[in-house]
Structure 1
Amino acid sequence: MILKQQSVKLTLNTYFGKPINKEDKSICNSQWISVLDPPSVASTIKLKWKEQYDGDNQYKKIATPFDFAALKTVYFDLRNGDDFITQSIEQVFEEAKQVSIDNKYGNELIPYKQNVSIIGFNSSRFDQTLFSKYLHNDKWTILSFTGSMGQGKQIVVEHKQTKQQTNFIDAMNYTQPTDLASFAKDFGNQNNQSKGLFPYEGITYDNYNQELIKSQPFPIKALDSLLRNKAMSDEDYLLYLCDAKNYATRWDYLQHYNELDSKIMIQPLDNLINWFYQYNVDILSFMSLAANANAIKYAIAYKDFDLNVNYPQYNQRFQTQGVQQSKSKPFVLSQSYWNYKVIGYNIQDKQKHRKTNNNVTINDYEYYKNLFDTSNCVIYGNKFTMDNKPTLDRIDNRLPHTKSNC
């Protein structure tokens, strides 16, 4: 599930801190110039395709490498009320129920309980900071927050009534630093849509209502970026005009722009998930690109390992490689060594609060001496030596060192 917010600047010019001038205490050494405040939020939900969605304009049917899927977009803005973000989160939890059902195994006997991922782009720096204050109220609560308040890696939120849990994460956890347009282009398919254009800097909290209610497109100057020192090109502006003419007001265009920002993330994320799945790695189970790379490393290392195969014995393998066997003396269990091991096993079990009344004792010496003499090491396959001494491995690690468990 993709979540994307659009933010506007609220100018404050408020001073705080220590007064610079004793006579004029209104001017202090710190100034709060502006804050970002979201006027809208859009979510795109990917679901399993069902025939009941056919003919419903809420759902768009798309093809995936495995089957057909349905895309549903949900949008809220200030016209829905000052609590539109809360309304949006409520709807996200509602949609998460169906996502959770769709993700279950075909065999109902196989248990499944996985949090639904709510993915934003660069959200750890912006979106999460803006809406995290809405994630703890009488309806839902934050279970865990990983990262810092300025940059959250993952926020786990649980709905208090349904107990549905969601993970708010950032897509940039799984890629190099980039922007949304490049992310959609580099990781998406050729038919993926391009990011739209919107005057971030021209719309503020003071003028958004007057500006967005207008029906005419934004002028080219409004799309210039002072922050990036970049002017809008005539070619890009023509593309914007072709797009904007399809919408009655700027509010409608904002909805299109916001929804598009969330839709263009579907293909790149699907591709990343499928690429990592080649190595049986679930990319969303980890919180960084490094952690996923580490999982792939181990997946490759054990790629050809088969639990059902009897691999060459230790001595055979090293003989094949021309390495001489160890000349260590054969191991013969002595009574004193066995007594020492029995004491150690009892100490281990007592430390773990396991019962020791049926543990092996010094009287089991003859039994284990014979066992060690006639057995081979289960790891290397060779006889025990003074360099490779035997020890008792428990069958069930929850139980103590009893004769039946070793």
Structure 2
Amino acid sequence: DLETLAKRVNEKFGDSSQGIATLVPQAIASTIKSASGIHSFYYDIRTDDFLDKWLEQLFEEVKQVKKDNKYKDETILQCFKVPIIELNSAKFDISLVFKNLKSKDWTISKYLESNTFIKQIIVKNYSSSIQLRFVDFKTYSVQNKFEDTVRDFAGNGGIHKKDRFLHEFINTKNFMNELNKNELFSIDTSNNQLKNKKLNEFKYKEYLFEPAKYKKRQDYLKYFNILDSRILIEPIDFMINLMFKYEIDMLANQSVAQSSNAIKYSMAYIVFDTNGNYNSECADKSIEITQCYW
């Protein structure tokens, strides 16, 4: 999960005054699921080159995933492309880390996109056989919103609930000062000028419950960021188990259509009898196609 900050690049131009901003990465969190359990890690803008450090740890973490999924028969060749699944609902997350996917230690070996989103990016580590396969969860579902994905695929809304972080007014100029404060965000900070929306009083009171547990706003941001990555575990597991009922490896597919097609053939195979008689017999009168008939 990636959080961003707004950076103003042109506050005034021409005859009118208009704030033009670009987004820069602020914090990133990942949740790893292995045979030993589930754990998360987090980096933010306070750490130099934090996206590179996040990728370094990602490569280290997947070494355990590689061990967990190793074939018992070591004579069988195995290619390790460990899936890193995210929900790029805003459609810009992956573009903000794209330049970090190429360095002296790793590079992009494969890239696949559709007209609407990037389906997968495979990043190869030069010093090991491990490859990271960045996949958008929209490859396996048609949902574009995080909340809809959790609602439809997490079962009873999931164990974890998505929280809210009032970050609309935080930017590259004030983030250090604002995030180090102890007090909670006021309701006025929820104004989203881009969408022209604001939290109502009821939702604001709901928001106050969780941040009150943390000493600083920065501590709550870390919790919020990690939670967003943790929540997606349940929808992913649900889809994997759903496909496995049809003996299909969901992670091997690259589109909803491909998964649906695999289910169709799996259902046909279930009722297929290898000893059955499937000779086609037709009692219909044949038709002679003449030029006149045509």
- TM-score range with shorter-chain normalisation? 0.7 to 0.9
Distance, in Å, in 1 between the alignment partners of 2:93 and 2:107 is 17
Answer yes or no: is the 8 Å Cα contact 1:10–1:37 preserved in 2. Answer: yes
Corresponding residue number in structure 1 for 2:219: 252
Amino acid aligned to 1:45: I
Answer yes or no: is the 8 Å Cα contact 1:121–1:172 preserved in 2. Answer: yes
Corresponding residue number in structure 2 for 1:37: 24
Corresponding residue number in structure 2 for 1:229: 196
C-alpha displacement of 1:313: 6.5
**Residues 124 and 299 (structure 1), Cα distance of their counterparts in 2 relative to 1, 3 Å cut:** farther
Matches within 5 A, 1:297-376: 297-306=264-273, 309-312=274-277, 314=279, 318=281, 323=283
Deviations 1:45-90 (A, max 9, x none): 00102xxxxxxxxxxxxxxxxxxxx111010011222x00000011
Per mean C-alpha deviation after superposition, the further-off stretch among 92-101 and 147-156 is 147-156
C-alpha displacement of 1:278: 1.2
User: Aligned-residue CA RMSD in angstroms?
Assistant: 2.6
Note the residue ranges of structure 1 that are not aligned, 5 or more in a row: 16-25, 50-69, 327-406
Deviations 1:155-189 (A, max 9, x none): 11001111310111111222223311221122113
Distance, in Å, in 2 between the alignment partners of 1:104 and 1:254 is 36
Deviations 1:324-382 (A, max 9, x none): 899xxxxxxxxxxxxxxxxxxxxxxxxxxxxxxxxxxxxxxxxxxxxxxxxxxxxxxxx
TM-score (norm 2): 0.87
Answer yes or no: is the 8 Å Cα contact 1:129–1:150 preserved in 2. Answer: no
Note the residue ranges of structure 2 that are not aligned, 5 or more in a row: 287-294
Corresponding residue number in structure 1 for 2:153: 187
Answer yes or no: is the 8 Å Cα contact 1:185–1:194 preserved in 2. Answer: no
Corresponding residue number in structure 2 for 1:282: 249
C-alpha displacement of 1:107: 4.6
For residue 135 of structure 2, the aligned residue among 157, 169, 184 is 169
**Residues 231 and 313 (structure 1), Cα distance of their counterparts in 2 relative to 1, 3 Å cut:** closer
Corresponding residue SS for 2:58: helix
Corresponding residue SS for 1:302: helix
Q: Which has the higher contact order (CA 8 A, sep 6+)?
A: 2
Distance, in Å, in 2 between the alignment partners of 1:32 and 1:303 is 60
Does 1:196 pair with 2:183? no
For residue 101 of structure 1, the aligned residue among 48, 51, 67 is 67
Matches within 5 A, 1:19-30: 27=14
Distance, in Å, in 2 between the alignment partners of 1:160 and 1:251 is 35
Per mean C-alpha deviation after superposition, the further-off stretch among 210-219 and 181-190 is 181-190
Q: Give aligned pairs, total.
A: 283
**Residues 247 and 313 (structure 1), Cα distance of their counterparts in 2 relative to 1, 3 Å cut:** closer
TM-score (norm 1): 0.64
**Residues 123 and 239 (structure 1), Cα distance of their counterparts in 2 relative to 1, 3 Å cut:** closer
For residue 6 of structure 2, the aligned residue among 6, 9, 12 is 9
Distance, in Å, in 1 between the alignment partners of 2:247 and 2:189 is 47
C-alpha displacement of 1:27: 5.0
Does 1:146 pair with 2:143? no
Higher radius of gyration, 1 or 2 = 1
Corresponding residue SS for 1:256: helix
C-alpha displacement of 1:267: 0.3
Does 1:113 pair with 2:79? yes
Amino acid aligned to 2:150: A
Corresponding residue SS for 1:132: helix
Amino acid aligned to 2:283: V
